[in-house]
Amino acid sequence: MSFSSQAKEELSSLKTDKKCCAIAECYGVLLYCNTFSAKEIRIITASDSFAERLPKLFKKAFSVNFDKVPKEGCKGKKTFYIEDREKLKSIFECFGSDLDGILSHHINFGMIENECCRASFVRGAFLAGGSVTDPEKSYHLELATAHHSVSREMYSILLDMEFSPKETTRSGNSLLYFKKADAIADFFTSIGAPVTAMNVMTAKVDKEMRNTITRQINCDSANTDKTVAAAQAQIEAIHRFARAYGLDALPEPLKDAAILRITNPEASLSDLSMLSMPKVTKSCLSHRLKKIMSLAPEE
């Protein structure tokens, strides 16, 4: 099951006790479904849980049944139809619209004045026209509708809910979308899917932790490479000096530093300073090795 399907399953499990919230959720469904016109209502969904919720939701909201429903046990996408004119008329009138006078859809804000109804409306919109990617892969949630005016008005609703969606179009549909994990998690919390919201944030934390570990490993690896390269350059310089003059030509402190480096080729300067006898600081040891490198003849 996809992450989007899991989210819709959680949302579809919510009880809708108030009729006003049932109507508001149906309103969101209709404005974001496949067809909502004076001739028919057609809702197509691949979500089994949403398909199971729809008949009960419409019965509670409008006291109507669908004219056509999917066959019991059918797989894949499921289609629900209402074509009966009297049913369509009662639904349109419920939203304050005239069945014969519809030119374009607009949201009747009076239907979603209450906070609970507004959340139900957005939930219905997501169930019918929304999708979300697996947060383990990327962060993207979108609401798609064929009605541009509805999308613009939904934008205002989301702003009132303290969200800041982005807008675009695709294949003739108007889209509102989020690309940040925090916004997606807050969106699901606000419409009644706290488990989905928690899963989004858990995925974000896990991803950030993996990125931090990767950066640390890369940093450690880079530092190790630098240490090895510096040690190799010092050893080569010591060998050049030894071939040209012999190590005994070095002052005693430089000679000790040279022997210490040759006998510990992979040690860092910090490690070498701990091994030195008598003890010297890291900066002192670095200075002595640089001195040897400056004295060594070029090949």
pLDDT per residue over 256-279, tens digit each? 888 888 888 888 888 888 888 888
- Tell whether the model's pLDDT for residue 88 goes beyond 70: yes
127-184 confidence digits (pLDDT tens): 999 999 999 999 999 999 999 999 999 999 999 999 999 999 999 899 999 999 999 9
Helix (H, G, I), strand (E, B) or coil at 256: helix
Check residue 275 and give its pLDDT.
84
pTM given for the model: 0.73
The radius of gyration computed from the CA coordinates of the chain, to the nearest angstrom, equals 34
* pLDDT, position 217: 83
176: enclosing H helix or E strand: strand 173-178
Residue spans of alpha helices (H) in the chain: 3-12, 19-32, 48-62, 85-94, 115-129, 148-160, 181-190, 194-244, 252-263, 269-275, 282-295
| Mean per-residue pLDDT, 104-109 | 86
Kindly state the average pLDDT of the residues 25-37.
94
